[in-house]
Protein backbone atom coordinates (compact mmCIF):
# COMPACT_ATOMS: atom_id res chain seq x y z
CA UNK A 1 0.00 0.00 0.00
CA UNK A 2 1.28 3.54 -0.71
CA UNK A 3 2.34 5.46 2.37
CA UNK A 4 0.24 8.50 3.36
CA UNK A 5 1.47 11.60 1.49
CA UNK A 6 4.07 13.75 3.18
CA UNK A 7 2.26 16.84 4.52
CA UNK A 8 3.85 20.24 4.49
CA UNK A 9 5.05 21.37 7.90
CA UNK A 10 1.84 22.80 9.31
CA UNK A 11 2.61 23.30 12.99
CA UNK A 12 5.42 24.79 14.98
CA UNK A 13 4.82 22.68 18.08
CA UNK A 14 2.44 19.71 18.11
CA UNK A 15 1.65 17.97 21.42
CA UNK A 16 1.07 14.21 21.46
CA UNK A 17 -0.36 12.92 24.75
CA UNK A 18 -0.39 9.22 25.56
CA UNK A 19 2.78 9.01 23.51
CA UNK A 20 4.02 5.87 25.33
CA UNK A 21 0.92 3.81 24.46
CA UNK A 22 0.38 1.50 21.48
CA UNK A 23 -0.98 4.17 19.14
CA UNK A 24 1.21 6.86 20.70
CA UNK A 25 4.37 4.97 19.77
CA UNK A 26 3.14 4.62 16.17
CA UNK A 27 2.18 8.29 15.87
CA UNK A 28 5.43 9.40 17.50
CA UNK A 29 7.23 7.99 14.46
CA UNK A 30 4.79 9.48 11.96
CA UNK A 31 3.75 12.95 13.19
CA UNK A 32 7.20 14.50 13.07
CA UNK A 33 6.56 15.08 9.39
CA UNK A 34 3.94 17.77 10.01
CA UNK A 35 5.59 19.88 12.74
CA UNK A 36 8.85 21.51 13.68
CA UNK A 37 8.72 20.21 17.25
CA UNK A 38 6.78 17.19 18.49
CA UNK A 39 6.17 17.48 22.25
CA UNK A 40 5.57 14.05 23.77
CA UNK A 41 3.78 13.45 27.03
CA UNK A 42 2.69 10.48 29.13
CA UNK A 43 2.88 9.20 32.70
CA UNK A 44 4.75 6.12 31.43
CA UNK A 45 8.40 6.10 30.33
CA UNK A 46 8.98 7.82 26.97
CA UNK A 47 12.74 7.38 26.61
CA UNK A 48 15.02 10.21 25.53
CA UNK A 49 13.87 12.92 23.15
CA UNK A 50 15.01 12.35 19.57
CA UNK A 51 15.72 15.06 16.99
CA UNK A 52 12.77 17.45 16.76
CA UNK A 53 11.20 16.01 19.92
CA UNK A 54 10.56 17.32 23.43
CA UNK A 55 9.62 14.98 26.29
CA UNK A 56 7.37 16.48 28.99
CA UNK A 57 5.96 13.84 31.38
CA UNK A 58 2.65 14.92 32.98
CA UNK A 59 -0.42 13.41 34.63
CA UNK A 60 -3.68 14.52 33.05
CA UNK A 61 -5.37 14.96 36.45
CA UNK A 62 -2.69 17.48 37.50
CA UNK A 63 -4.09 20.83 36.34
CA UNK A 64 -0.84 22.73 36.97
CA UNK A 65 1.16 20.17 34.99
CA UNK A 66 -1.35 20.45 32.13
CA UNK A 67 -0.94 24.22 32.15
CA UNK A 68 2.83 23.86 31.76
CA UNK A 69 2.42 21.14 29.15
CA UNK A 70 0.24 23.26 26.86
CA UNK A 71 2.55 26.27 26.85
CA UNK A 72 3.69 27.15 23.31
CA UNK A 73 1.59 24.42 21.69
CA UNK A 74 -0.21 25.01 18.35
CA UNK A 75 -2.26 21.82 18.15
CA UNK A 76 -2.79 18.63 20.14
CA UNK A 77 -3.29 14.96 19.36
CA UNK A 78 -4.81 13.71 22.61
CA UNK A 79 -4.45 9.97 23.06
CA UNK A 80 -3.74 10.09 26.80
CA UNK A 81 -5.82 8.47 29.53
CA UNK A 82 -7.25 5.03 30.28
CA UNK A 83 -7.91 3.21 26.98
CA UNK A 84 -9.91 0.18 28.13
CA UNK A 85 -12.97 -0.58 30.23
CA UNK A 86 -12.34 -0.78 33.99
CA UNK A 87 -13.20 0.60 37.45
CA UNK A 88 -14.61 4.12 37.49
CA UNK A 89 -12.11 5.99 39.67
CA UNK A 90 -9.01 5.79 37.38
CA UNK A 91 -11.23 6.59 34.37
CA UNK A 92 -12.76 9.54 36.22
CA UNK A 93 -9.31 10.95 37.01
CA UNK A 94 -7.56 10.44 33.67
CA UNK A 95 -10.41 10.66 31.15
CA UNK A 96 -12.89 13.07 32.73
CA UNK A 97 -10.90 15.35 35.07
CA UNK A 98 -7.91 14.92 32.75
CA UNK A 99 -9.65 15.88 29.52
CA UNK A 100 -11.15 18.92 31.25
CA UNK A 101 -7.69 19.99 32.45
CA UNK A 102 -6.28 19.55 28.96
CA UNK A 103 -9.01 21.62 27.28
CA UNK A 104 -8.89 24.34 29.88
CA UNK A 105 -5.11 24.67 29.54
CA UNK A 106 -5.44 24.55 25.74
CA UNK A 107 -7.99 27.37 25.84
CA UNK A 108 -5.79 29.51 28.06
CA UNK A 109 -2.79 29.00 25.77
CA UNK A 110 -4.70 29.73 22.55
CA UNK A 111 -4.43 26.25 21.04
CA UNK A 112 -6.38 26.18 17.77
CA UNK A 113 -7.21 22.51 17.30
CA UNK A 114 -7.33 19.22 19.18
CA UNK A 115 -7.59 15.77 17.66
CA UNK A 116 -9.28 13.79 20.42
CA UNK A 117 -8.99 10.00 20.57
CA UNK A 118 -12.56 9.12 21.37
CA UNK A 119 -13.73 5.56 20.86
CA UNK A 120 -16.30 3.36 19.18
CA UNK A 121 -17.33 2.45 22.75
CA UNK A 122 -19.29 5.75 22.87
CA UNK A 123 -21.83 3.82 20.75
CA UNK A 124 -20.95 0.27 21.81
CA UNK A 125 -24.51 -0.67 22.74
CA UNK A 126 -25.76 -0.44 19.17
CA UNK A 127 -26.18 -3.88 17.66
CA UNK A 128 -23.90 -5.32 15.01
CA UNK A 129 -26.85 -5.44 12.58
CA UNK A 130 -27.21 -1.63 12.68
CA UNK A 131 -25.30 0.92 10.63
CA UNK A 132 -25.00 4.15 12.58
CA UNK A 133 -23.50 7.59 12.04
CA UNK A 134 -22.13 10.24 14.42
CA UNK A 135 -25.60 11.87 14.31
CA UNK A 136 -27.14 8.94 16.20
CA UNK A 137 -27.49 9.31 19.97
CA UNK A 138 -24.62 7.91 22.02
CA UNK A 139 -25.04 4.51 23.71
CA UNK A 140 -21.89 4.07 25.79
CA UNK A 141 -21.02 0.49 26.72
CA UNK A 142 -19.24 1.18 30.04
CA UNK A 143 -17.29 3.63 32.19
CA UNK A 144 -14.73 4.06 29.42
CA UNK A 145 -17.35 4.77 26.74
CA UNK A 146 -19.09 7.19 29.11
CA UNK A 147 -15.83 9.05 29.69
CA UNK A 148 -15.27 9.37 25.93
CA UNK A 149 -18.84 10.66 25.47
CA UNK A 150 -18.00 13.28 28.12
CA UNK A 151 -14.86 14.20 26.15
CA UNK A 152 -16.89 14.66 22.96
CA UNK A 153 -19.42 16.86 24.78
CA UNK A 154 -16.59 18.87 26.28
CA UNK A 155 -15.10 19.33 22.81
CA UNK A 156 -18.45 20.56 21.49
CA UNK A 157 -18.73 23.03 24.39
CA UNK A 158 -15.19 24.35 23.89
CA UNK A 159 -15.94 24.93 20.22
CA UNK A 160 -19.34 26.57 20.79
CA UNK A 161 -18.10 28.76 23.65
CA UNK A 162 -14.47 29.46 22.73
CA UNK A 163 -13.99 28.47 19.07
CA UNK A 164 -11.43 25.76 19.92
CA UNK A 165 -11.80 23.19 17.14
CA UNK A 166 -11.78 19.42 17.68
CA UNK A 167 -12.01 16.34 15.57
CA UNK A 168 -13.24 13.48 17.77
CA UNK A 169 -12.01 10.18 16.37
CA UNK A 170 -14.23 7.29 17.41
CA UNK A 171 -11.39 4.85 16.89
CA UNK A 172 -12.37 1.27 16.16
CA UNK A 173 -9.61 -1.32 16.65
CA UNK A 174 -6.20 -0.01 15.64
CA UNK A 175 -3.75 -2.89 15.72
CA UNK A 176 -1.28 -4.38 13.22
CA UNK A 177 -4.08 -6.71 12.06
CA UNK A 178 -7.64 -7.69 13.10
CA UNK A 179 -7.54 -10.03 16.11
CA UNK A 180 -11.05 -11.50 15.81
CA UNK A 181 -14.18 -11.46 13.67
CA UNK A 182 -15.53 -8.28 15.27
CA UNK A 183 -12.41 -6.46 14.16
CA UNK A 184 -13.12 -7.28 10.52
CA UNK A 185 -15.64 -4.42 10.89
CA UNK A 186 -13.77 -2.21 13.37
CA UNK A 187 -10.19 -2.48 12.14
CA UNK A 188 -8.12 0.66 11.51
CA UNK A 189 -4.65 0.05 10.08
CA UNK A 190 -1.77 2.14 11.41
CA UNK A 191 -1.31 3.76 7.98
CA UNK A 192 -5.00 4.71 7.89
CA UNK A 193 -4.74 5.98 11.47
CA UNK A 194 -1.95 8.26 10.28
CA UNK A 195 -4.06 9.39 7.29
CA UNK A 196 -7.01 10.11 9.58
CA UNK A 197 -4.98 12.08 12.11
CA UNK A 198 -3.24 14.12 9.38
CA UNK A 199 -6.59 14.85 7.69
CA UNK A 200 -8.03 15.92 11.05
CA UNK A 201 -5.09 18.21 11.76
CA UNK A 202 -5.02 19.84 8.34
CA UNK A 203 -8.66 20.10 7.10
CA UNK A 204 -9.30 23.86 6.84
CA UNK A 205 -12.51 24.03 8.88
CA UNK A 206 -13.68 21.33 11.30
CA UNK A 207 -15.63 23.01 14.14
CA UNK A 208 -16.34 19.95 16.23
CA UNK A 209 -16.42 17.00 13.86
CA UNK A 210 -16.93 13.37 14.83
CA UNK A 211 -15.64 10.55 12.63
CA UNK A 212 -15.35 6.80 13.10
CA UNK A 213 -11.77 5.61 12.85
CA UNK A 214 -11.93 2.62 10.53
CA UNK A 215 -10.21 1.35 7.43
CA UNK A 216 -12.06 0.70 4.16
CA UNK A 217 -13.53 -2.55 5.53
CA UNK A 218 -16.12 -4.50 3.53
CA UNK A 219 -18.16 -5.20 6.66
CA UNK A 220 -18.98 -1.96 8.42
CA UNK A 221 -21.36 -0.68 11.10
CA UNK A 222 -20.44 2.98 10.71
CA UNK A 223 -21.30 5.63 8.14
CA UNK A 224 -18.74 8.43 7.84
CA UNK A 225 -20.54 10.35 5.09
CA UNK A 226 -21.01 13.39 7.31
CA UNK A 227 -17.26 13.57 7.94
CA UNK A 228 -16.39 13.73 4.22
CA UNK A 229 -15.21 17.34 4.69
CA UNK A 230 -12.16 15.96 6.51
CA UNK A 231 -10.92 14.42 3.26
CA UNK A 232 -10.02 11.14 4.97
CA UNK A 233 -9.68 8.34 2.39
CA UNK A 234 -8.77 5.00 4.00
CA UNK A 235 -6.52 2.89 1.78
CA UNK A 236 -6.44 -0.38 3.74
CA UNK A 237 -9.07 -3.05 4.37
CA UNK A 238 -9.53 -5.95 6.80
CA UNK A 239 -10.63 -8.17 3.88
CA UNK A 240 -7.22 -9.78 3.22
CA UNK A 241 -7.32 -11.00 6.86
CA UNK A 242 -10.86 -12.45 6.64
CA UNK A 243 -10.12 -16.08 5.82
CA UNK A 244 -7.48 -16.48 8.53
CA UNK A 245 -9.61 -14.59 11.10
CA UNK A 246 -12.71 -16.70 10.41
CA UNK A 247 -10.65 -19.88 10.54
CA UNK A 248 -9.35 -18.91 13.99
CA UNK A 249 -12.91 -18.20 15.22
CA UNK A 250 -15.17 -20.52 13.17
CA UNK A 251 -18.17 -20.58 15.55
CA UNK A 252 -19.91 -17.52 17.01
CA UNK A 253 -22.31 -17.80 19.96
CA UNK A 254 -25.16 -15.53 18.87
CA UNK A 255 -26.55 -15.44 22.42
CA UNK A 256 -23.35 -13.80 23.65
CA UNK A 257 -23.79 -10.00 24.06
CA UNK A 258 -20.17 -9.60 22.91
CA UNK A 259 -21.30 -11.03 19.56
CA UNK A 260 -24.55 -9.06 19.38
CA UNK A 261 -23.29 -5.56 20.25
CA UNK A 262 -20.78 -3.38 18.43
CA UNK A 263 -18.72 -2.86 21.60
CA UNK A 264 -17.84 -6.57 21.70
CA UNK A 265 -16.32 -7.78 24.98
CA UNK A 266 -16.53 -4.31 26.58
CA UNK A 267 -20.34 -4.64 26.93
CA UNK A 268 -20.09 -7.44 29.51
CA UNK A 269 -17.20 -6.11 31.61
CA UNK A 270 -17.95 -5.28 35.26
CA UNK A 271 -19.45 -4.53 37.65
CA UNK A 272 -16.06 -3.69 39.18
What residues are annotated to the active site? 144
From 62-70, 113-121, 224-232, 244-252, span contacting ligand 15L (CB under 6 A): 113-121
Q: Which of 17, 61, 101, 120 binds ligand 15L (CB under 6 A)?
A: 120
Would you say 11 or 221 has its CB closer to ligand 15L? 221
- Interaction between residue 84 and ligand 15L (CB under 6 A): yes
Would you say 4 or 142 has its CB closer to ligand 15L? 142
Radius of gyration (C-alpha) of the chain in whole angstroms: 18
- Taking the C-alpha atoms of residue 29 and residue 19, their distance in angstroms, rounded to an integer, is 10
- Taking the C-alpha atoms of residue 77 and residue 172, their distance in angstroms, rounded to an integer, is 17
- Interaction between residue 83 and ligand 15L (CB under 6 A): yes
- Interaction between residue 173 and ligand 15L (CB under 6 A): yes
Q: Which of 186, 217, 224, 245 binds ligand 15L (CB under 6 A)?
A: 186
Residue 211 main-chain phi, psi, to 5 deg: -140, 140
- Taking the C-alpha atoms of residue 164 and residue 185, their distance in angstroms, rounded to an integer, is 32
Q: Which of 95, 119, 128, 147 binds ligand 15L (CB under 6 A)?
A: 119
Rounded least distance, CB 200 to ligand 15L, Å: 17
27's CB contacts (< 8 A; 6+ apart) are: 16, 19, 77, 79, 193, 194, 197
Amino acid sequence: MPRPPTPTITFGRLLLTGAAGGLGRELRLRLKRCCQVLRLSDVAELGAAGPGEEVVPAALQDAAAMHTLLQGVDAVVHLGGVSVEGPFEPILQANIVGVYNLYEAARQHGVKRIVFASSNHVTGFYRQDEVISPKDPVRPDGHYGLSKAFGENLAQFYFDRYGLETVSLRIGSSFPEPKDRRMLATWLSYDDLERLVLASLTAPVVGHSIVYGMSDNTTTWWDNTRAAHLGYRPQDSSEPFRAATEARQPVLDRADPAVVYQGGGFVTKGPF
